[in-house]
Amino acid sequence: MRTRSTFSISFWISTARRVDGTAKIYARITVDSQRTNMSLKYTIPTEIWDRKGSRVLGHTKEAREINTYLMEVETELFQCYRALKSKSHYITPQMVKAYYFGEDGSNIKIKTLFEHHNVHCAHNLCKATLRHYRTTQNYLLKYINEQYKSDDYPISQLDHNFIVGFETFLRKLYPRHKHEKLSNNGAMKHIQRLRKMTRMALDNEWIDRDPFRRFKVKMERKEKEFLTLQELQDIQEYYTGIERLRIVKDLFVFSCYTGISYCDLMELGEDNLVLGIDGKHWISTKRLKTKNTFKLPLIGPALSIIKRYHYHPKKSPEKLFPSISNQKLNSYLKELADACKIRKNITFHMARHTFATTITLSNGVPIETVSKILGHTKLATTQVYARVLDRKISEDMDGLDTILDKKMSESNIAKERFGNFDH
C-alpha cells in the first residue's frame, strides 16, 4: 500500500542569544515528521509577533513587507516540494531547503553532504562510527585544501580523478598519535565512507552519475591475531603494583571471557548484571554498533573482576568499571604485553578475537552461539573470528581416523562372514 507523505510550513521566532527584546524569524519545513529550520534574515521586536497566526502584527509598511515576504516564502517552498515530489517518492525537509536555495545538487558541497549524513544517519550509528565519518570528512577537507586550494568542493564535480587523488593523499598520510603511514585497509575505509556519501547523493538525485563506477576498493585480507590459552594465562597471572596496568589487565581479561567490545564495556552498568535461567550471573545488554541485544553467562574470572571494582574510587556509581579512553587502553596494553614477554601487537579488540577463537570456537562452542553472544547481525561477520587451530584440526581428524578404522573393521568382518555366498 502506497503511503502519502505530509508536508507543512510554519514560521516562528527565536530569541536565543538576544537580550535587546528582538527576535529572528525562521521558517520550519516539516516532511513526514522530519523537520528543518531556515533563517529568513529578518529581526523584529518580539512584541509585534503573532504566535498564533505566525505573522507580524500591525499595518506599518515594514509589517506589510515582512508578511508579504512570508507568504512568498511559503508559496516558493511548496513549489519546491512539488518539484521534488515529481522526481522522487523520498523527500526530506533538507532536500526542500536545498532546492529552495538552489542547492538541488549543482551547489551542494562535501561539507554539507557529510553533515546531512551525520544528522540523519546518527540513529543507526554508534558514537565511535560517527567519529570515523567525521575523521573522513576532515581528511577530505584537508585534501581539498592542499589539492584545490579551497575549503570545500562541489559534489557535482566528484569524478574518478578526485577519488584517485584522495587515495594517494591517504596513502601518504600519518594519522595523529601514530608513527607510521595509514595502512591500505585504513585508507580504503575512508574511501568506502566517501562512496557511501556519493550513493546517498545519487539516491537524493543531487548528482546524476556515480563517480565510483570505474574505481574498485582494494581491501587486503589479513589474519587477525588472538591470544593462545597460555598467553592469556600469562596475562591473568601477571602481578603489578601499578594501578593503571591492573585496571587495563582486568578489563582486557574480562573482554577475553565475554567478547564484549570496548565501547560496550564502558557502557556496562549495574542493571546489565542479571540472573540467568540457570540461576547464575549473566550480562544482558545491547551492542552500541548494531543495536542488537545479547546475553551471556559470566565464565572464568569475569564475575570476580566485576566484584573487584564494586567500590572502586575511580568508578562512577552506575557503571561496572572505571572509565578509560581506548587510546590509553591500547597504549597500556602494549606495556602489559612487554611485561608478559608476548611478542604480538596487542590491542583491546584482540580480546574479542581471543574470546571467539581460544575461549569458544576451539572448545566446541557452535559458531551460531558465538555469533549470538557477539551480537552480530550476520553469521558471515562471525566467520572473521572463526579461527580453526591446529590442535582443533588434530582432535577432529583423530576422531575421524577412529571412525574410519571402525567402519573398515566392520566391513572386513562382513566380508569374511558372508564372502562364501558369492560362489
Which pLDDT score is estimated for 396?
Answer: 66
Q: How confident is the model at residue 1 (pLDDT cuts 50, 70, 90)?
A: very low
- The whole-chain average pLDDT of the chain stands at 85
Backbone conformation region of residue 164, classed left if phi is above 0, alpha if psi is from -120 to 50, else beta: alpha
Residue in 224, 255, 249, 260 with CA at minimum distance from that of residue 340: 249
How wide is the angle at C-alpha 171 spanned by C-alphas 208 and 132, nearest 5°? Answer: 65
CATH architecture of 229-382: Orthogonal Bundle (1.10)
| Confidence band for 394, pLDDT divided at 50, 70 and 90 | low
Q: Check pLDDT > 90 for residue 423.
A: no
Q: Give the separation between CA 254 and CA 240, rounded to whole angstroms.
A: 17
For the beta sheet containing 281-286, the strands, ordered from the edge strand earlier in sequence to the opposite edge, are 273-275, 281-286, 293-297
Distance in angstroms (rounded) separating the CA atoms of residues 231 and 358: 10
356 neighbors 259 (Cβ within 8 angstroms): yes
pLDDT at 2: 44
Secondary-structure percent of the chain, ordered helix, strand, coil, rounded to 5: 50, 10, 35
Q: Which amino acid, one-letter code, is at 260?
A: I
Nearest Cα to 317, choosing from 258, 264, 271, 248?
Answer: 271
Residue 345: pLDDT band by 50, 70, 90 thresholds? Answer: confident
Q: Which residue has the higher pLDDT, 121 or 341?
A: 341
Per-residue model confidence as pLDDT tens digits over 32-75: 888 888 888 888 999 999 988 999 999 999 999 999 999 999 99
Name which of 181, 305, 295 is nearest 250 in CA terms. Answer: 305
Q: Return the domain boundaries, the chain.
A: 7-100, 110-203, 229-382, 391-416
CA distance 265 to 259: 10
Q: What is the pLDDT of residues 27-44, one digit of tens each?
A: 999 998 888 888 888 889
From the list 230, 211, 102, 198, the residue with the least C-alpha distance to 160 is: 211
Rounded Cα–Cα distance for residues 227 and 249 (Å): 14
